[in-house]
Amino acid sequence: MTPEYRLHWPDGLGRVDIYAALRPDRDGMRLMQRGLSGGTASLASPFPEQDRVYFFIKPQNGQDGLWLADRVLTLEGVANFRDMGGYETQDHRHVRWGQLYRSAAPSGLTSQDYAQIDALGIRTVTDLRTEAEQRKQPTHWKTGPNGTPPAFFASKKPVLPGQMTDRAQLARLDTRQARAMMAGFYSRMPELYEDELKGIFARLLAHRTPTLTHCTAGKDRTGFASALVLYALGVPEKTILADYAMSGTLLRAHMTPSFKAAMNDPKTGGAATAASPAMQAMLDSDPAYLEAGFRAIRERYGSVDRYLSEKLGVGPQQRAQLQSLYLD
Query: Residue 117 phi/psi, 5° resolution?
Result: -65, -40
Amino acid at 125: V
Query: Cα Rg for the chain, rounded, in angstroms?
Result: 20
Residues annotated catalytic, as ranges? 215
Separation in Å, CA 68 to CA 22, 32, 120: 12, 14, 16
Sheet holding 30-36, edge to edge: 30-36, 16-21, 54-59, 66-68
Q: Are 313 and 201 in contact (CB under 8 A)?
A: yes
* Measured distance CA(47)–CA(223) in Å, rounded: 32
Nearest to 230 by CA among 298, 303, 323, 153: 323
* Measured distance CA(21)–CA(98) in Å, rounded: 12
